[in-house]
Amino acid sequence: MAALVDPFVGTANDGQTFPGAVVPWGLASPSPHTTLRDPFTFFDGPANAGYLHGAPLIRGFGQTHLSGVGCPDLGAPVLVPVVGSTPGFTEETYASGYEGERAHAGYYAVTLTGPGVDGELTATARVGLQRFWFPERDDAAVLIDAGRGLSWRTNAGRIRVVSMTEAEGSVELGLFCARPNRSVLHFVVRFDRPAFWAGTFVGETLTPAASAEGDAGAFFRFRTGAGAPIVAAVGLSWVGVDGARRALEREVGSRTFDELHDEAARAWQRALGRVRVEGDETSRRRFTTALYHALIHPSVASDWGGDYPLPGGAVGHLASGERYTVFSLWDTYRTVHPLLTLLFPERQADMLRTLESLTISAGVPPLWELIGEDVRVMVGDPAAIVFSDSWVKGLTDFDLDGLYPRLAAAARDAAHRPGLDSYVSLGYVPMEESSDVWGPVSTTLEYALADSALATLAAAVGRSGEASEFAARARSWRSLYDAGTGLLRPRNADGSWWEPFDPDALEGSLFQPRSGGPGYVEGTAWQYAFFVPHDMAGLVALHGEDVFASRLQGFFDSGRFAMWNEPDLAAPYLFDHVGGQAFRAQLVVRDAMGRFFGDGPAGLPGNDDAGTLSAWYVFSAMGMYPDAPGTARYALGSPLFDRVEVELSPGAPGSRTFVIEAEGNAPDRPYIAAAELNGEPLTVPFLEHGDVVAGGVLTLHMSASPGAW
């Protein structure tokens, strides 16, 4: 399956992915940079992962990247193969034209036409590897730029030449989405042959000094010959150079580039092999690439030995397991974490323990964690949703008794939940608080969903009174329902509806484009009209079943459905909540997969948001989707494949397989006429998580026309 992955998918059309090499959940991700860092673009710059497909120049190969996110960071250090006595030491001067790009899971290659160098990249979990094939010459060199990555924090590099084969250093990163976060990445660059000269540079000035800092880097000169490449292995650590050097020893050692490339391919084959699909090659390629993108983040943050970074330069230590980072929780609670819970429960368990530790050490759960710090991007209180969703699905290997009081206290803390006092007293966040609360309607809906999750967790630890309290707060969304429009509308503190009200406005909440119409976060009133995943029965009842189905269908027919952003991801499956309307979900889901996702660089409809859109595609192509965060149930859609086999904890005792068979499946046969689970008729368009992980067979009989099922 790894051979089907196309890492170029999403590198255009605002997907914000990168094509370079990475292993599942790896820290290291060597990848080309084709764009200049530009803090003036602010959000949604041209390439937050450093790469925009079709850009004319490659500006070196960065070693760390974020996949699909809305702001730039990481990217450092940058390695650049150059030739000539004075090649230049800036992104503008060492940039080169290129041709012949190719990539697959764990591998990237390109020819840099300027220096005439063929470059190849692969990776281990904590080491980025570059193999440079130079022409025969006496002035070949590899430049290590520690002062420029993708972060808006600039001139923050430190580097030291240790020997003719090694350099070590660090680079300060951060200012993600203009937040004050600061992280320090430590690195050791080790060449497989000695240079004949090495020095450092600051700005445009090359010196023979052994160390430099600021806008700094190192420069290693080699005599090269045809057929004798130079391999540079870059060990990485968020803790210290000792950890970076240990990564080189443990993950590279004496192994060759080709051996490590093979190991990366095998790692992807094992991970992607958890789901086997049978169908046409185009669908299998799109599916496998989507699964690949869903398994990049969260990424490993701990060193060999268990050290990991804490805010302010402190260091924590794990006795076992891994520490993770890059928790884009407002996005990933919807699809990525439910997918990991199903396919990789052992990984999700470590991620839950990471979130538990973050919550306990900070006193409140994170909103958007990056290298040990909460950058507090987006809204709501999503960590509670992740804990609840995993808990009800059987992942309970964390201290909920110790964690829950902190989650509950944070939910009562106005510093953690802006607008909380009004949310509790009025039942919603009013528009008067827009200056402090991004999107009062969206924030109210997110708080209500998080409170539903907290009610579940409170019940699990035997706090029935608090369970009732949070369950009551979870019904706050009703305060924003306008029966006249059928929408969830902005409201003033005195109870009046906010005016003027444009249900299709997509801007006005913040200053950046697509920030959301007034009252909303990155969406319109219509795109939030059905966002009550924890109480769909209540929302349907307020509309009435027929009206709800009609409005929902009109939402899709009018082109208002936004596949590019998170609030609408579950919308196609909401038809399953209305008796006799599941066929509409089957048609809309099948249409969305074909219309919004594709091959090549423009194959994603928007920011992948740490794998969130890709994980939606994975679930949908399998034919099932998490019905509501915090519930152990999946809604059925329309599978792309004739057969799907899901391996559940392979290699573990009692490992099982769940099979989805779609009999008579075809592009023009999207409807389910009948279904059986383990030979027994399935009469509702839902599956329980327990039935899936127990193993068995779901048989779907596909049809060209909608039926009564």
90 and 73 within one domain:
yes
533 and 455 within one domain:
yes
Q: Does residue 102 lie within any of the structural domains?
A: yes
295 and 259 within one domain:
no
289 and 234 within one domain:
no
Give the CATH number for residue 173.
2.70.98.10
pLDDT of the residue at 568: 96
First to last CA, the chain: 34
Cβ contact 440:431 at 8 Å = yes
327 and 264 within one domain:
no
pLDDT digit string, tens, across residues 376-425: 999 999 999 999 999 999 999 999 999 999 999 999 999 999 999 999 99
349 and 254 within one domain:
no
pLDDT of the residue at 512: 81
Strand partners, 324: 300
Q: What CA–CA distance (Å, rounded) separates 34 from 52?
A: 6
628 and 516 within one domain:
yes
Q: Which residues, given as ranges, of the chain have pLDDT below 50?
A: 42-44
Q: Does residue 707 lie within any of the structural domains?
A: no
643 and 578 within one domain:
yes
Q: Does residue 173 lie within any of the structural domains?
A: yes
Range of the domain at 617: 280-300+320-693
Inter-axis angle of helices 281-294 and 257-272, nearest 10? 100
154 and 134 within one domain:
yes
State which amino acid sits at residue 288. Answer: T
331 and 222 within one domain:
no
pLDDT of the residue at 308: 97
pLDDT digit string, tens, across residues 263-314: 999 999 999 999 999 999 999 999 999 999 999 999 999 999 999 999 888 9
Q: Does residue 311 lie within any of the structural domains?
A: no
Q: Does residue 305 lie within any of the structural domains?
A: no
Q: What CA–CA distance (Å, rounded) separates 158 from 138?
A: 28
174 and 146 within one domain:
yes
Could you give the number of structural domains in the chain? 2
Q: Which of 250, 271, 292 is the last residue of a domain?
A: 271
State both tokens at 253.
């050692």
Q: Does residue 312 lie within any of the structural domains?
A: no
DSSP H/E element including 237:
strand 230-237
Angle (CA) 95-98-104 rounded to 5° is 115
Q: Does residue 704 lie within any of the structural domains?
A: no
pLDDT of the residue at 41: 53
pLDDT of the residue at 46: 65
Q: Does residue 314 lie within any of the structural domains?
A: no
pLDDT of the residue at 39: 53
Q: What CA–CA distance (Å, rounded) separates 353 from 399?
A: 9
Give the CATH number for residue 385.
3.30.2080.10
327 and 267 within one domain:
no
